[in-house]
Chain A
Amino acid sequence: MRERLRRKIAGSKPILAVAAGIPLTAKAAHDSGADLIITHKEAVFGADGRLPVIARTGYGGNGNDIMMRMAEKFAAAAKGTPVIAGVGPAEPYMNVDRYTDRLLNQGIAGVTNYPTAGGWVGSYGNGIRIAGVGYSLEVEYIKRWSMRGVLTVGYCFTPEQVKQMIEADAAILSLYVPRTEKESHGWDDAPCVESAVETALKLFETAREEDKDRILLFSGATISNITDISYYLKTTKAHGYISDELVECSIIEQGVVNAVSGYRRLKVHV
């Protein structure tokens, strides 16, 4: 798998990882030739018409249970394209490594730390960190599974996190491009496009300093604007892009809206 990705990079073609909340999207990703599929509780929520950030805040059940329930279906729909599943390392009711073994047995190819606990800020975020269930736990988890040769994707939002994930040997890093005000979905206080790129570039610089060959993808821009994706690809020189759940949602929504409005225009026999 890594070989395939490296060949793509060598050929200057962008790597595409698709966030999928329903297996149909995984199927579409495979059929279009995308390189990776990433699924997690936030994507599942989004595809179900719910606000994705709620997936992080104690609603909808244990994300790890959701992943386990859907793993087989995603793997089947992906028809061989690797599926990466988001895992919460502070799994309260089973040893998370035993859980991960089972998940991989269902056909999942790799794991990621998304949705990360790193997004909690302020005093509560502090509490999470000190209680040991924050980003550092995710780093340890990714490290353990990278060492077992499993495909891992580390999501990073700060230069410090980038360093940690590289040290943890994450095969692929997802580097966050902060969103502009109208796209903000719970990670930051929305800057303008230029400063967004500046912030993202810091992550890329840090990554390349630590390891110039690590596979770096960027996530955060919305697909409604292919020019944005192209722009970020060029300016960050990322190896590829992760289309997140908001992208999936807007496409599904658009598809259904178009279809139904088309049906509305049908003429009835008189």
Chain B
Amino acid sequence: MKRFSRNEIVDRLNNRIRKYEPIVVCGAGTGLYARAAEREKVDFLIASAKSDALVNGLGAQEAVLPYHDANHTSGALAKHLLPVLKDTPVVAGIAAYNPYIDIRRVLKQMKQQGFSGITNSPGGSIYEGPRKKVYMAQEAEMILTAKEMDIFTMAFVTSEEEIKAMALADVIVTQCREDIRQAKVIIDYQEYLSEQVFAENKNTILLADVGNLTEAEAVQELMFRTKALGIVSEEAVESLLVHEKLTTAFEEILNL
């Protein structure tokens, strides 16, 4: 069970960048997912309410529903993921807008549990209107506080307004809201977002969230158009690809 400092993770990522290798980040909902991803040298893993929901058979849209305490769920993943990993950082998803919590205390707890970083998942981006501004401010503050505590930070951005707020994060991830499902829309929109991100800071370590894209060509196109240095895969790897493999195997038997 190894915890990584912020610099250690940033160094790893810079190493990939220097070698023109893609940064690969995956969601993990169980120890099996974590171990398998580590085997193929994933750069780090995400443990969030979404990671958990996906292995529970929920779709990405349902994964952000508030039917549980998101921070409890991601914290609970620690014992499932951390003991099987040898040398891979795990980033915990935190809902910064939980009104019951003191964010500093939550960050300290995540650090103690062995998480190496945090990300804004679920993010306030799923909300609209005036609430959204409040939540964004809270997420921005969370990222600032995390940095002070030497915790690696990754921020998902789904709209232009979030880009400035999350600018301080070590890694930025362009993401489409979960209800956007068409490849063309996803790629076009993230291209647009990435332009804004680089306009804000051309040295950003930018990743693109593949969403529900499972075709290799589509993912490659996403990377080219966004000029991202890598990808984040949650729904695709945890749910869609695994589900496909399982159903194929079961159908083969049923057809005997």
Contact = CB atoms under 8 A, between A and B. Distances in A.
The reply, when asked whether chain A contacts chain B directly with Cβ atoms under 8 A, is yes
A262 B56 CA distance: 24
A27 B242 contact: no
A252 B36 contact: yes
Interface stretch (A41-49, A89-97, A113-121, A142-150): A41-49
B57 A76 contact: yes
B247 A270 contact: no
B250 interface: yes
Contacts of A26: 57
B252 A226 contact: yes
Interface stretch (A14-22, A130-138, A154-162): A14-22
Q: Is the interface of B mostly helix, strand, loop or mixed?
A: helix
A269 B224 contact: yes
Contacts of B17: 268
Contacts of A261: 40
A190 interface: no
Contacts of A263: 22, 24, 26, 219, 231, 233
Interface in B9-49: 17, 20-22, 24, 26, 29-37, 39-42
A192 B26 CA distance: 40
A27 B40 contact: no
Interface stretch (A28-36, A103-111, A164-172, A204-212): A28-36
A77 B32 CA distance: 19
Contacts of A253: 32, 35-36
Contacts of A230: 256
Nearest to B225: A269
B204 to A, nearest CB: 14
A241 B249 CA distance: 13
A267 B223 contact: yes
Interface in A249-265: 249, 251-264
B57 A241 contact: no
Given A13-B254, A24-B242, A223-B253, A49 B56 contact: no
Counting contact residues on chain A (CB < 8 A from B), the size range is 35 or more
Contacts of A244: none
A29 B248 CA distance: 10
A163 interface: no
A268 B36 contact: no
Given A226-B252, A260-B42, A266 B33 contact: no
Nearest to B39: A257
A77 B39 contact: no
Given A24-B243, A48-B30, A266-B220, A32 B57 contact: no
Given A251-B245, A262-B216, A49 B40 contact: no
A76 B253 CA distance: 24
Most chain B CB within a 10 A radius of its CB, from A21, A28, A34 = A28
A102 interface: no
Contacts of A247: 249
Contact of B249 (A14, A33, A73, A223): A223
B56 A22 contact: yes
A25 B54 CA distance: 11
B220 A259 contact: no
Most chain A CB within a 10 A radius of its CB, from B42, B228, B254 = B254
Nearest to B243: A28
B128 interface: no
A256 B242 CA distance: 7
A154 B253 CA distance: 22
Contact of A31 (B32, B35, B243): B243
Contacts of A55: none
Interface of A: 13-14, 16, 18, 21-29, 31-34, 46-50, 73, 76-77, 223, 226, 229-230, 233, 241, 243, 247-249, 251-264, 266-270
* Top-10 shortest CB links A-B: A49-B31, A77-B57, A28-B246, A32-B250, A260-B40, A256-B36, A49-B32, A27-B57, A255-B242, A23-B57
12 contacts: A16-B250, A28-B250, A48-B31, A226-B252, A252-B242, A256-B37, A256-B237, A257-B40, A260-B37, A261-B40, A266-B22, A267-B223
